Amino acid sequence: MRLLVVEDDKDLNRQIVTALENAGYAVDKAFDGEEGLYLGETEPYDAVILDLGLPKVDGVSVLQGWRRAGKLMPVLILTARDRWSDKVAGFDAGADDYVTKPFHVEELLARVRALLRRAAGHATSELVCGPVRLDTRASRVVVDGNPVKLTSHEYRLLAYLMHHQGRVVSRTELVEHLYDQDFDRDSNTIEVFVGRLRKKLGVEVIETVRGLGYIAAAPEKV
């Protein structure tokens, strides 16, 4: 899952990005509203964390610009302001949730997980596909109750497919949502990660749809 953090406080930006990366996400960052607006309009993000008090272009205007451009990704706004009117302005501009500074990083992570779940139509933090269970809260995968150790890229790939279970996902879409903008992207590496995942999981939950991509689906019972 690929996220964008738009926050002008460099220390806080770094803290949030580090926490998200440690939780298994690919993360891009911006330090002002102008850069954030551009990235949100040109790159495909699964969710955005957006500060309201930004230089160059304020956060509400950034969010309004994204929504006018038809961008539907969930947006969590950050604000040091505790006035209800600021929160209302954020929601009216198209925000999905908010956190008031100062905040605990664990709360931020939990709200991001909730946004991603709701956007994909899931009700709980555990995603299930046949015998495979993926706990988004602990970034843990088990098969038939047995833990499976995955690399960060393998986990991102499996998590994305399971968030969009039952839908064919192209290699291009996977590349766009698994890597940050600074990563040297190569769609051929997706095949390598899929092969490794299948071997580690030991069950057929990732199907290849020739010419279209991959789909996560529970294996048929015999």
CB 170 within 8 A of CB 178: no
C-alpha torsion sign, points 72, 216, 126, 137: negative
CA separation for the pair 75, 47 (Å, rounded)? 6
Rounded (5°) CA angle 11-57-53: 45
27: nearest Cα among 38, 15, 37:
15
**Which architecture does CATH list for 126-216?**
Orthogonal Bundle (1.10)
Range 177-206 burial, b when 16+ CB lie within 10 A, else e: bbbbeeeeeeeebbeebbeebeeebeeebb
Q: Name the pairing type of β-strands 140-143 and 146-148.
A: antiparallel
Kindly report, residue by residue over 58-111, the tens digit of the pLDDT.
Answer: 999 999 999 999 999 999 999 876 677 888 899 999 999 999 988 999 999 999
The residues of the chain that CATH labels 3.40.50.2300 are 2-120
CATH no. of 2-120? 3.40.50.2300
The residues of the chain that CATH labels 1.10.10.10 are 126-216
64: nearest Cα among 42, 84, 89, 46:
89
CB 62 within 8 A of CB 50: yes
CB 97 within 8 A of CB 117: no
79: nearest Cα among 67, 66, 97:
97
Q: What per-residue confidence (pLDDT) applies to 222? A: 45
- Ranges in the chain, pLDDT < 50: 222
